[in-house]
Amino acid sequence: MVSRVRGRFVRLSGEIVTDTDPSASSVVAEIDLASIDTGNADRDEDLRSANYLDVARYPTMAYRSTAVRVAGDRFTIDGDLALHGVTRPVQLTGELHGIRANGKGGTVAGLGATAEIDRRDFGINLTIPIPGGGVVVGDKVAITLEIEANLAD
Protein backbone atom coordinates (compact mmCIF):
# COMPACT_ATOMS: atom_id res chain seq x y z
CA MET A 1 0.00 0.00 0.00
CA VAL A 2 1.41 3.37 -1.00
CA SER A 3 -1.08 5.81 0.49
CA ARG A 4 -4.34 5.95 2.38
CA VAL A 5 -7.54 6.46 0.43
CA ARG A 6 -10.47 8.13 2.10
CA GLY A 7 -14.01 7.46 1.05
CA ARG A 8 -17.55 7.73 2.26
CA PHE A 9 -20.92 6.14 1.76
CA VAL A 10 -23.55 8.57 0.55
CA ARG A 11 -26.71 6.53 1.28
CA LEU A 12 -27.28 5.22 4.78
CA SER A 13 -29.87 5.07 7.51
CA GLY A 14 -29.82 4.44 11.20
CA GLU A 15 -31.41 4.89 14.57
CA ILE A 16 -29.91 5.75 17.93
CA VAL A 17 -32.07 5.03 20.98
CA THR A 18 -30.84 6.53 24.23
CA ASP A 19 -31.91 5.94 27.80
CA THR A 20 -30.81 7.37 31.13
CA ASP A 21 -29.47 3.86 31.70
CA PRO A 22 -26.87 3.48 28.91
CA SER A 23 -27.28 -0.31 28.93
CA ALA A 24 -30.85 0.23 27.63
CA SER A 25 -29.54 2.31 24.69
CA SER A 26 -29.04 0.91 21.20
CA VAL A 27 -27.73 1.70 17.74
CA VAL A 28 -28.64 0.24 14.36
CA ALA A 29 -27.36 1.35 10.97
CA GLU A 30 -27.55 0.20 7.37
CA ILE A 31 -25.29 1.39 4.57
CA ASP A 32 -25.91 1.10 0.83
CA LEU A 33 -22.51 -0.16 -0.34
CA ALA A 34 -23.13 0.92 -3.94
CA SER A 35 -23.04 4.52 -2.67
CA ILE A 36 -19.29 4.41 -2.00
CA ASP A 37 -17.48 7.58 -3.08
CA THR A 38 -13.69 7.89 -2.93
CA GLY A 39 -13.51 10.70 -5.48
CA ASN A 40 -12.28 8.33 -8.21
CA ALA A 41 -14.99 6.71 -10.35
CA ASP A 42 -12.76 3.87 -11.60
CA ARG A 43 -11.67 2.97 -8.07
CA ASP A 44 -15.27 3.16 -6.81
CA GLU A 45 -16.40 0.78 -9.55
CA ASP A 46 -13.62 -1.67 -8.63
CA LEU A 47 -14.61 -1.46 -4.95
CA ARG A 48 -18.23 -2.24 -5.90
CA SER A 49 -17.13 -5.27 -7.97
CA ALA A 50 -16.74 -8.90 -6.86
CA ASN A 51 -13.06 -8.06 -6.22
CA TYR A 52 -14.02 -6.28 -2.99
CA LEU A 53 -17.53 -5.36 -1.77
CA ASP A 54 -19.44 -7.40 -4.37
CA VAL A 55 -22.51 -5.16 -4.11
CA ALA A 56 -24.44 -7.32 -6.59
CA ARG A 57 -24.46 -10.13 -3.98
CA TYR A 58 -24.11 -8.05 -0.79
CA PRO A 59 -25.78 -4.66 -1.35
CA THR A 60 -25.70 -3.47 2.26
CA MET A 61 -23.54 -3.38 5.36
CA ALA A 62 -25.36 -3.34 8.71
CA TYR A 63 -24.40 -2.66 12.33
CA ARG A 64 -26.44 -3.56 15.40
CA SER A 65 -25.27 -2.74 18.91
CA THR A 66 -25.14 -5.40 21.61
CA ALA A 67 -23.98 -3.17 24.50
CA VAL A 68 -23.51 0.54 25.16
CA ARG A 69 -21.30 2.00 27.89
CA VAL A 70 -20.96 5.70 28.67
CA ALA A 71 -18.38 7.53 30.78
CA GLY A 72 -18.90 11.30 30.69
CA ASP A 73 -18.74 12.44 27.05
CA ARG A 74 -17.00 9.21 25.96
CA PHE A 75 -18.79 6.02 24.94
CA THR A 76 -18.10 2.48 23.81
CA ILE A 77 -20.52 0.52 21.67
CA ASP A 78 -20.11 -3.21 21.18
CA GLY A 79 -21.98 -4.56 18.21
CA ASP A 80 -22.16 -6.88 15.25
CA LEU A 81 -21.10 -5.72 11.80
CA ALA A 82 -22.56 -7.64 8.85
CA LEU A 83 -20.49 -7.17 5.70
CA HIS A 84 -19.94 -9.34 2.63
CA GLY A 85 -22.05 -12.19 4.03
CA VAL A 86 -20.07 -12.34 7.29
CA THR A 87 -21.04 -11.01 10.74
CA ARG A 88 -18.32 -10.17 13.25
CA PRO A 89 -18.16 -8.22 16.51
CA VAL A 90 -16.88 -4.66 16.12
CA GLN A 91 -16.37 -2.15 18.91
CA LEU A 92 -16.92 1.56 18.29
CA THR A 93 -15.33 4.10 20.61
CA GLY A 94 -16.44 7.68 20.51
CA GLU A 95 -17.28 11.00 21.98
CA LEU A 96 -20.38 13.15 22.29
CA HIS A 97 -19.52 16.52 20.76
CA GLY A 98 -22.59 18.30 22.05
CA ILE A 99 -26.36 18.71 22.12
CA ARG A 100 -27.92 21.95 20.91
CA ALA A 101 -31.12 23.47 19.59
CA ASN A 102 -31.23 23.09 15.81
CA GLY A 103 -32.92 26.46 15.13
CA LYS A 104 -36.08 24.74 13.88
CA GLY A 105 -37.68 23.98 17.22
CA GLY A 106 -35.86 20.68 17.68
CA THR A 107 -32.65 19.39 19.19
CA VAL A 108 -29.61 17.91 17.50
CA ALA A 109 -26.72 15.87 18.91
CA GLY A 110 -23.25 15.61 17.38
CA LEU A 111 -21.00 12.64 18.00
CA GLY A 112 -18.04 10.88 16.50
CA ALA A 113 -16.83 7.29 16.69
CA THR A 114 -14.00 5.16 15.33
CA ALA A 115 -13.17 1.50 14.78
CA GLU A 116 -10.75 -0.56 12.75
CA ILE A 117 -11.53 -3.79 10.93
CA ASP A 118 -9.49 -6.25 8.90
CA ARG A 119 -11.21 -6.73 5.54
CA ARG A 120 -10.04 -10.37 5.43
CA ASP A 121 -12.19 -11.10 8.52
CA PHE A 122 -15.18 -10.39 6.27
CA GLY A 123 -14.05 -12.56 3.36
CA ILE A 124 -12.66 -9.68 1.27
CA ASN A 125 -9.37 -11.35 0.41
CA LEU A 126 -8.09 -10.06 -2.94
CA THR A 127 -4.43 -9.08 -2.65
CA ILE A 128 -2.68 -7.48 -5.61
CA PRO A 129 1.08 -7.09 -5.16
CA ILE A 130 2.89 -3.94 -6.25
CA PRO A 131 6.12 -4.51 -8.19
CA GLY A 132 8.98 -3.79 -5.80
CA GLY A 133 6.96 -4.69 -2.70
CA GLY A 134 3.70 -3.92 -1.00
CA VAL A 135 0.09 -4.38 -2.08
CA VAL A 136 -2.52 -2.26 -3.84
CA VAL A 137 -5.05 -2.41 -0.95
CA GLY A 138 -4.13 -2.79 2.70
CA ASP A 139 -5.87 -5.23 5.02
CA LYS A 140 -6.83 -2.74 7.73
CA VAL A 141 -9.79 -0.43 7.19
CA ALA A 142 -10.22 2.55 9.52
CA ILE A 143 -13.83 3.52 10.15
CA THR A 144 -14.58 7.09 11.18
CA LEU A 145 -18.13 8.21 11.88
CA GLU A 146 -19.22 11.82 12.28
CA ILE A 147 -22.91 11.86 13.08
CA GLU A 148 -25.43 14.62 13.52
CA ALA A 149 -28.68 13.17 14.85
CA ASN A 150 -32.04 14.86 15.31
CA LEU A 151 -33.41 14.01 18.74
CA ALA A 152 -37.02 13.02 19.20
CA ASP A 153 -38.97 14.24 22.20
pLDDT reading at 135 higher than 70: no
pLDDT at 134: 64
- What is the 3-class SS of 124-152, one letter each residue? CCCCCECCCCCECCCCEEEEEEEEEEEEC
Closest CA to 119 of 88, 76, 78, 77: 88
- Compute the distance between CA of residue 25 and CA of residue 65 in angstroms, rounded to an integer: 9
Predicted confidence band of residue 133 (pLDDT cuts 50, 70, 90) = low
Mean pLDDT along residues 48-63: 96
Mean pLDDT of the chain: 91
pLDDT reading at 87 higher than 70: yes
pLDDT at 153: 66
Mean pLDDT along residues 90-101: 93
Q: What number of other Cβ atoms are within 10 A of residue 50's Cβ?
A: 11
Closest CA to 22 of 96, 119, 87: 96
pLDDT reading at 1 higher than 60: no
When the candidates are 2.40.128.110, 2.40.30.10, 2.40.10.10, 3.90.100.10, the CATH number that belongs to 8-151 is 2.40.128.110
pLDDT reading at 104 higher than 90: no
